[in-house]
Amino acid sequence: MLAKTLSIPHISTGDLFRANISQGTPLGLEAKAYMNEGRLVPDEVTIGMAKDRMLQPDAAHGFLLDGFPRNLGQAKALDEFLTEQGIALDGVLDLEVSEDEVVKRIAGRRLCRNDGGHVYHVIYNPPKTEDVCDECGGELYQRSDDTEDKVRTRLEVYHTETEPIIDYYAQQGVLVTIPALGKVDEVTERAVAALEQKKNG
């Protein structure tokens, strides 16, 4: 929703990995074992893939990164890449929600097989027809790493590897923290307003 509102492409490293897995590429094969366990795919693979995507023509006028960077090594590699390319980082969005809420949101999440950007939730945002995408009629499914036990592992990984980048970006003065409780539209509006404010300084 953010990418749509801002008219920029949504670049999700998780989506890129899942596309590689469904196409059976070597990169997908390598990523699969890590993803199934809820662990991070090694930086050597992830950073190169993210850079390739950011260099695609549709990203020439800005992009929204989702799920990248996920540790300090990736954050530093991203900084170098952005400096090389002369791209400014307008803001880094930190969505604040309790851990219980994270588990509820992820365990109830359902995705469309045709487009991972079509996202539903069994309680908070159910499709009109069960297991069918409202937007394109695609079949909805639950990601194998979205079960409660996998989410708990992913949260542990988050705390040890990803959380430190909050401080890293706070020190750069680009961090935008918003409470992410509430309706999807409200949180989107809050995020857009906070990002615009940060961008305009």
Binding site for ligand AMP (CB under 6 A): 12-14, 17, 34-35, 38-41, 46, 67-68, 70, 74, 145, 154
- Pick the closer one to ligand AMP by CB: 76 or 201: 76
- Pick the closer one to ligand AMP by CB: 89 or 193: 89
- Pick the closer one to ligand AMP by CB: 82 or 193: 82
CB 20 to ligand AMP: min, Å: 11
> Residue 169 contacts by C-beta under 8 Å, 6 or more apart in sequence?
75, 92, 94, 175
- Pick the closer one to ligand AMP by CB: 21 or 192: 21
Cα–Cα distance list, 25 to 28, 31, 200 (Å)? 5, 10, 41
Cα–Cα distance list, 182 to 66, 101, 122, 190 (Å)? 20, 11, 16, 10
Give the span between the Cα atoms of 104 and 165, in whole angstroms. 24
CB 156 to ligand AMP: min, Å: 11
CB 197 to ligand AMP: min, Å: 26
Which residue, judged by CB position, is nearest to ligand AMP in the bound state? 14
**Which H or E run includes 178?**
strand 175-179
